[in-house]
């Protein structure tokens, strides 16, 4: 983990420095659009949709919102190891290599260690293997078997099992490199249309590293950033803390969005809430996550994990978010960036989800 007390301030400029540092180790993942999903997001839901089983009961009886949304999907499911966390892991290793006396003191032989439920575990294992450094990963026993297998067998890390509590992740700077790419890619791809780039970005939120990093990358740009969480069994800790004014420090949930089961860390929280770089937090039900996942598989033909589609589920199904867009964007609408954070899911798990 990068200690903020020994690093440069967490700003948009430091995100750019981080991006330059890891550029040669990561993929510049594509940004895709999809007419069907954009049309669905811009179509008012019916009263029956708002009242059906599995929807948030708060929507019953409401007049459906009529937002205008143009969706842009940043496909970090196509990143190395299948998740955005490759960015933070390579940044951590590159920063470690720059520490004075690290190699001379035996740091390379001692290796690196982290705690992760899966995607960050694989990412650090890959980054360590690339640099011929041993990696030791503490993983919860409930981690998805494919993620355990990839961490241990494919990327060669030593895995130690533990309970399901989390520890603070590395500083958010490296996570924001994806936000920089998304902004630039949308500008490039929309140059032939009337769009002037993104109005907003929504990302999944677990430990908060990606959300806070994207928020840093948008600082001073006018692009608004929102967080998305599952609501199941209190998994929406960041949302609850955001509106109560106090960080929730513990979460115990078995939401299908397994990458979002951790509470927000202190460093991301300072960016998300204390610096007010995130404009709002929204949550969705398990059924809404599954509905969004099915749409991505059927309409975009992309392999994504449940955690990755929580932002899309908010855009499609959360009436508070949709009403806010309608109110603030009007007929012009918003160009909304949606981050697909990862694609590490087994066929067995998908079969159970859609059985």
Which of residues 106, 137, 162 is at a domain's end? 162
Residues with Cβ within 8 Å of 28's Cβ and at least 6 positions away in sequence, in order, are 181
Residues 194 and 234 in one domain: yes
Residues 108 and 182 in one domain: no
Domain membership of residue 241 (yes or no) is yes
Residues with Cβ within 8 Å of 26's Cβ and at least 6 positions away in sequence, in order, are 79, 80, 86, 87, 90, 177
Domain membership of residue 202 (yes or no) is yes
Domain membership of residue 14 (yes or no) is no
pLDDT digits (tens, 9 = 90+) for 67-94: 999 999 999 999 999 999 899 899 989 9
Residue 170 is predicted with a pLDDT of: 44
Q: What is the dihedral sign for C-alpha 274, 276, 278, 279?
A: positive
CA trace torsion 39, 82, 207, 58 (10° rounding):
30
Domain count, the chain: 2
**CATH code for position 188:** 3.40.50.1100
pLDDT digits (tens, 9 = 90+) for 294-314: 999 999 999 999 999 999 999
Q: How far apart are CA 207 and CA 258, in angstroms?
A: 12
| pLDDT band at residue 4 using 50, 70 and 90 as cut-offs | low
Q: Which of 93, 78, 205, 91 lies closest to 157, judged by CA?
A: 93
Residues 207 and 332 in one domain: yes
| pLDDT band at residue 106 using 50, 70 and 90 as cut-offs | confident
pLDDT digits (tens, 9 = 90+) for 338-350: 999 999 988 888 9
Segment 213-221 shows an average pLDDT of 95
Domain membership of residue 270 (yes or no) is yes
Q: Please give the span between the terminal C-alpha atoms of the chain, in angstroms, as a whole number.
A: 40
Domain membership of residue 13 (yes or no) is no
Domain membership of residue 262 (yes or no) is yes
Give CA separation, 202 vs 128, 240, 283, 305, 313, in Å.
30, 17, 12, 16, 11
Domain membership of residue 19 (yes or no) is no
195 pLDDT exceeds 80?
no
Residues 72 and 104 in one domain: no
2-16, 178-192, 219-233 — most confident range = 219-233
289 versus 169: the higher-pLDDT residue is 289
Which of residues 142, 162, 182 is at a domain's end? 162
The model carries a pTM of 0.89
Residues with active-site annotation = 85, 117
Tell me the pLDDT of the chain averaged across its residues: 90
Domain of 133?
A: 83-162
């Amino acid at each position: 983990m990068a200690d903020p007390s020994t690093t440069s301030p967490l700003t948009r400029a430091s995100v750019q420095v981080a991006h330059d540092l890891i550029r040669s180790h990561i993929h510049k993942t594509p940004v895709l659009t999809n007419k069907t999903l954009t049309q669905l997001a811009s179509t008012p839901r019916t009263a029956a949709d708002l009242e059906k089983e599995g929807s948030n009961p708060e929507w019953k009886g409401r007049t459906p919102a009529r937002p205008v949304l143009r969706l842009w999907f940043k496909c970090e499911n196509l990143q190395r190891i299948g998740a955005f966390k490759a960015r933070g892991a390579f940044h951590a290793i590159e920063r470690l290599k720059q520490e004075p006396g690290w190699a001379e003191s035996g740091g390379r032989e001692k290796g690196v260690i982290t705690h992760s439920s899966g995607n960050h575990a694989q990412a650090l294992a890959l980054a360590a293997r690339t640099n011929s450094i041993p990696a030791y990963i503490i993983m919860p026993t409930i981690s998805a078997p494919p993620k355990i297998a990839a961490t241990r067998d494919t990327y060669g890390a030593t895995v130690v099992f533990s309970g399901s509590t989390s520890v603070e992740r590395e500083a958010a700077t490296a996570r924001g490199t994806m936000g920089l790419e998304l902004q630039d890619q949308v500008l490039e791809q929309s140059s032939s249309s009337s769009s002037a780039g993104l109005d907003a970005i929504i990302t999944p939120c677990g430990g908060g590293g990606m959300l806070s990093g994207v928020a840093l990358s948008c600082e001073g740009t006018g692009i608004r950033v929102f967080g998305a969480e599952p609501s199941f069994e209190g998994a929406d800790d960041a949302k609850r803390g955001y509106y109560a004014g106090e960080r929730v420090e513990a979460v115990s949930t078995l939401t299908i969005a397994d990458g979002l089961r951790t509470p927000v860390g202190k460093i991301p929280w300072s960016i998300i809430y204390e610096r007010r770089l995130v404009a709002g937090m929204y949550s969705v039900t398990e059924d809404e996550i599954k509905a969004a996942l099915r749409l991505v598989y059927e309409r975009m033909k992309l392999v994504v994990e449940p955690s990755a589609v929580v932002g899309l589920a908010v855009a499609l199904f959360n009436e508070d978010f949709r009403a806010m867009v309608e109110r603030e964007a009007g007929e012009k609408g918003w160009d909304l960036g949606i981050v697909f954070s990862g694609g590490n899911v087994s066929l067995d798990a998908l079969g159970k989800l859609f059985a």
